[in-house]
Amino acid sequence: MSLSQADYAAHDALGLAALVARGETTATALLDLALARAEAAQARLNCIARLDEGPARAAIAAGPPAGPFCGVPFLLKDLGCEAVDFPSSGGSRLLRWTEWPRDSLLFERLRATGLVTFGRTTAPEGGVGPVTEAQVYGGPTLNPWSLGRTPGGSSGGAGAAVAAGVVPAAHGSDGGGSVRIPASNCGLFGLKPTRARLPDGPYAGEGWAGMAIDGFITRSVRDSAALLDAACGDDPGGPYVAPPLREGFAAAIARPPRRLRVAFTAGRLDGAPIHPDCRAAVEDAARLLESLGHHVEEARPTVDVAGLMDAWTTIVACGTALWVRERCAKRGAPLCDDELEPVSLGAIRLAETRSGADYLEAVEHVHDFGRALAGFFEGRDAFLTATMAEPPAEIGRFAPINPDFRDYRIGPAGILPYSPFAPVYNASGQPAATLPLFWNAEGLPIGVQIATRFGDDETLMALAAELEAARPWFGRRPPLF
């Protein structure tokens, strides 16, 4: 049969794979539809970093592996998930179209599912920031729900592409909310798994002192479950090991979770208020959880988020200085004035003021924070907050032009007041997910975040599936697409 654009958009990734398996469409037909949608989305949103149609056609001709996503089009973020056939820029002119001598372990596992990768999505330089406005792409990436708003970052291109229906699921990564922020801003599901649940090898031992991890942005919970089942597992030689799963993500969503003890706060963790729309989203989700029989109570941990983010800023600044130094050393040429954006240059300047002892002190601060937050979960199964403290920001508000990296990240007009919730779980390593359960009066998606104990990814995924069934979101699409 001939699949229409409407048919393509009406299925999640597992649904498209089922059509291929039944002979109702082909991988070639799906790729053609995805490429057409990518062209349309790129013209409006600037969400595609590059298209690599050749490797995708070759993979189809060779016969994609008969995995759970056989024949389904897929996009990688332009950062991480290194692959021979898909050069990456990391959002930077300095790294423009870096080629890789071998595939990362993560990409090998994704390819084995039968996914047909055909390009990369946009990201901010070095993955730093809650917006995707890197100069290497010629302009900002826009939110399909409102072209004047950001889709988020750093997996902003992935969020925009999935929301626009280019692909039903896409790769992302999350070192301070970079999967959950764009998923929230774009009305999608995004889960940051427990630290070390997914492999970093062989190109990285850890990202940002163990705070960064790969992930996925999807329209359905079951797609995320299947992707995580396929991608998770041992990372030989990796510095961290996640607790083993009991059954797996797909098995976890086959039945509702037990009734849980859920804490929530409708403000920030320091007690400060958040935007009324975000507060309304949390209160609405708390009522929904209670209606499903969960025990819900208002409570918040006693933790120093501002101190954490000060430490986070030092670690990320040092990480930025490292990848810039490594790139310049590899090419045998110093940095040119126009190769980095002001925020990245500011990060390098900040790193130059930090000693090795300062860096280790920041790492210890992150570890202390993680232990304090873990203590809050004693006697509780889950914690509900807003994903963001405000609706999606306007384009340009967090453009990477501030040369003062600390001010950009944690100043009074910086990122911390806008995104105070997501990074805490990068510090603790706990699983956390954003769910699109609420839209405001302007029609903008407002995500809510739920986290569970370290290693308890399956409970989180099961709860997400229960909420998806109670408040379905799959049919909500941006008016432009």
Predicted confidence (pLDDT) per residue in 360-403, tens digit: 999 999 999 999 999 999 999 999 999 999 999 999 999 999 99
CA distance 94 to 102: 21
Q: What pairs with residue 173 in β-bridges?
A: 214
How confident is the model over 194-198, as a mean pLDDT? 98
Confidence of residue 319 (pLDDT cuts 50, 70, 90): very high
Residue 375 included in any domain? yes
- The answer to whether residue 88 is domain-embedded is yes
Is the distance from CB of 195 to CB of 228 less than 8 angstroms? Answer: no
Partnered with residue 449 across adjacent β-strands are 385, 434
- Of 154, 155, 173, 224, the catalytic one is 154
Provide the pLDDT for residue 2. Answer: 82
Return the DSSP state at 127.
G
Closest CA relative to residue 427, chosen from 346, 265, 307? 307
Residue 222 forms part of a structural domain: yes
Domain of 61, in residue numbers? 26-307+342-470
Active site residue 428: no
Task: With respect to residue 174, please indicate whether it lies within any of the assigned structural domains.
Answer: yes
Q: Is residue 80 part of a domain?
A: yes
What is the C-alpha separation between 371 and 228, in angstroms, rounded?
A: 26
CATH code, 419: 3.90.1300.10
- 287-323 burial, b at 16+ Cβ within 10 Å, e below that, comes to ebbeebebebeeebbebebeebbbbbbbbbbbbbbeb
Strands 261-264 and 382-386: parallel
CB-count burial class (<10 Å; 0-12, 13-18, 19+) for 132:
buried
pLDDT digits over 111-153, tens only? Answer: 999 999 999 999 999 999 999 999 999 999 999 999 999 999 9
**pLDDT (tens digit, 9 = 90+) per residue, 11-53?**
999 999 999 999 999 999 999 999 999 999 999 999 999 999 9
What's the CA gap between 356 and 318, in Å, rounded?
A: 10
The C-alpha atoms of residue 392 and residue 404 are separated, in whole angstroms, by 23
Alpha carbons 6 and 15: distance in angstroms, whole number: 14
- Main-chain phi, psi angles of 215, to 5 degrees: -175, -165
- CB within 8 A of 335, min separation 6: which ones? 94, 324, 328
Taking only the tens place, the pLDDT of each residue in 71-88 is: 999 999 999 999 999 999
What the block records as the tokens of 154 is 């750093």
Domain-embedded: residue 479:
no
Asked if the structure places residue 10 within a domain, the reply is: no
What is the tally of structural domains in the chain?
1
For this structure, is 224 an active site residue?
Answer: no
The single residue of 173, 178, 344, 419 carrying the catalytic annotation is: 178
In a domain, 327, yes or no: no
pTM over 0.95: yes
Distance CA 161, CA 189 (A): 13
